[in-house]
Amino acid sequence: MATVENRQVVLERYIEGVPKVTDMAMKIGKIELKAPKGSGAFLVKNLYLSCDPYMRGRMRDFHGSYIPPFVPSQPIEGFGVGKVLDSDNPDFKPGDFISGITGWEEYSLIHNTSQLRKIQPDDAIPLSYHLGLLGMPGFTAYVGFYEICSPKKGEYVFVSAASGAVGQLVGQLAKLHGCYAVGSAGSRQKVDLLKNKLGFDEAFNYKEEADLDAALKRYFPEGIDIYFDNVGGEILDAALLNMRIHGRIAVCGMVSLHSISDPKGIHNLYCVVPKRIKMQGFLQSDYLDKFPEFLEHVTKNFKEGKIVYIEDMNDGLESGPAAFVGLFSGQNIGKQVICVARD
């Protein structure tokens, strides 16, 4: 087997605040396109890589979280879709497509298959959707909405970062469930997508609202039953004021912001007592037994045209750092993916 160049995106150094492009660097390694005998590993050509906000937590030098930090000078790790080129693992054969944790590089030798699954190519479903709609973000939306929010038909649902990888599916699941769904996002273009493409009943640009409490009162004159929180901070504070009795808040995404999240703190938590609010943080990885039903439900509705999905695709591994950094200023429109190679 040939030894080839293997371009990589590595973590340059641990970060403190918001990630910058210069916190990452391109590096050119070499790799033999072969899975060593006896290793149990397999060699993958990475096709699509996923930019997810949680990855920021792995850029910090903090070992107390649910997932360890990245290793400086080593390729960033994240969800990806790849094609097996060579394998010493009987479960994965050359030509198989996989979705799971891989490296930000052209080729990866994969030993750990615990967060990996084989995917069946399907002409009706872009391969990259296994990083979004049918991957971790989609499953996060599914678990958060059904398991954490216990939705009932007719309930009022608010989703922040609603056009993002997770939020866009939450709103669509809510509509399919017979709920009323309103989303917030950070640009007019995103608001337009929410209303005209993703089927939200209403949407607003939080950056244009001087008073978020008033905005929520306008969109939810009856109050909010379910708030799917992807952002924390001021929007959470305003949502607390507008929750209905026995409301539920699924806390999905504060993790992505926590080193810069609202330095003023959350002031309206007292609302949880008189309103008997349940607020719950969750990780999709606790619910993996539900993954098959998720896949079936979402695939079926997608193929029937009842669910759509918006992707923001950047071309080339070298576009990775900027695409990732863009997540934190809301540059992406929909699920941010990097195309490393088409096949």
Cα–Cα separations (whole angstroms), residue 151 to 51, 219, 295, 339: 29, 19, 19, 36
Q: Is 244 left (phi over 0), alpha (psi -120 to 50) or beta?
A: beta
**Contacting positions for its own copies (CB under 8 A):** 57, 65-66, 232, 236, 245, 251-255, 257-258, 261-267, 269-283, 286
Is the CB of 20 or the CB of 276 nearer to its own copies? 276
Instruction: Give the residue from 70, 85, 83 showing the smallest Cα distance to 33.
Output: 85
CB of 96 to its own copies, least distance (A): 32
Structural tokens at position 192: 């337009």
CB of 158 to its own copies, least distance (A): 17
CB of 263 to its own copies, least distance (A): 8
Is the CB of 201 or the CB of 234 nearer to its own copies? 234
CB of 61 to its own copies, least distance (A): 16
Question: For residues 29 and 7, what is the distance between their CA atoms, to the nearest angstrom?
Answer: 6
Relative to beta strand 42-50, strand 335-339 is: antiparallel
Residue 248 main-chain phi, psi, to 5 deg: -125, 140
CB of 50 to its own copies, least distance (A): 18
Is the CB of 139 or the CB of 302 nearer to its own copies? 139
Helix (H, G, I), strand (E, B) or coil at 298: helix
DSSP state of 343: -
Is the CB of 169 or the CB of 236 nearer to its own copies? 236
Is the CB of 254 or the CB of 308 nearer to its own copies? 254
